[in-house]
Structure formats: C-alpha cells, structure tokens
Amino acid sequence: MPAQISRLADFLPYLLSVTSNAVSGRIADEYNARFGLRIPEWRVMAVLGDAGSQTQRALVGATLMDKVAVNRACKVLEDRDLIKRSPNIRDGRSHHLELTVSGKAMHGQIMPLALEMEALLFAEFTAEECATFKSLLGRVRRRVQDLSPEGQMKDRAT
C-alpha cells in the first residue's frame, strides 16, 4: 500500500494540463468568434507566421499535435486560402506550407489579440514572475524531451 495517496488537485502534470486547456479554450473562444479558427488551425498559422514556410512534418513537431490534427488544420486553412502548398524540391513526397497574403493579414490581426489576451491572463503577475514562469515552463519542456524515448536514445549514444 502506498505511503501516501496523491490527490489529483496536487498532481502537477494534471494542474498543468487543465490550466493549459483552460487558457487555450478561453483564447480559442476569441479566435473562433472573430476569425472562425479552432485551436489547431491557429497553432498552424502561428507557427507559419513566426517561422515561415514549413513542411507538415515540421508543423507536427513545432505544434506537438498529431499528424491527423495538423493535416486537418492545414486542409481547412488551405480551403480558406489562408495557407498555400508548394513542392518541396528536397523531398518530392512533401510540400512546404506558408501563409498566403490573406493568411498573413489574418495573422497580423490575431497577434495583437493574442498579446492582449496574454496581458489580461498575466495582469496579476509581475514582470519578474512572468520571466520566472517562462523559465520554469522551458525547464519542464526540456525535461520532457530528455525523458522521451528519443531523448533517452540520444543520451545513450553519447
């Protein structure tokens, strides 16, 4: 019998997950109401707007969404003329995806909204607390990568 049974409310991965879902859901309500975008579509647009042209495989890695979700989001965005595909000359099996002129315009409208939502969400945090929070999230993300099968294989190779 375990020495102590953990309460879900004290389990940090659970708290992180539900908080992330709450934040994403709140922001998604705004993106959906104003632009007709769901979370996967906005994440794809955000990455393309920030990083430029990407393959679908790169988008899977950058968004940490599964291939099917990225594929569906790309299809919706392409149908709405917000992204376009071009052949990948290095790999004939894949394409590069990038924002269209319309996609860039929408991205330009969404980013101020995203920054406004961020300011509202973290209004009760000091600048130092925000910096610490970002640093801690980065550490957790790196630790997850270190503990992933890929990260552990890399460690064994060195």
Low-confidence ranges of the chain (pLDDT < 70): 1-6, 151-158
**Model pLDDT, residue 53:** 94
Same domain, residue pair 107 and 139:
no
Q: What's the pLDDT at 158?
A: 40
Q: Is 55 in a helix, a strand, or coil?
A: strand
Give the pLDDT score at 136.
Answer: 97
Return the pLDDT at 97.
96
- The pLDDT, as a whole number, for residue 1 is 46
Residues 29 and 50 in one domain: yes
pLDDT at residue 2, rounded to an integer: 54
**Closest by CA position to 82, among listed 74, 94, 93, 90:** 74
The reported pLDDT for the residue numbered 93 is 80
Q: Are residues 49 and 95 in the same domain?
A: yes
Q: How many domains does the chain have?
A: 2
79 lies in the same domain as 109:
yes
Same domain membership, residue 49 and residue 16:
yes
Give yes or no: residues 69 and 142 share one domain: no
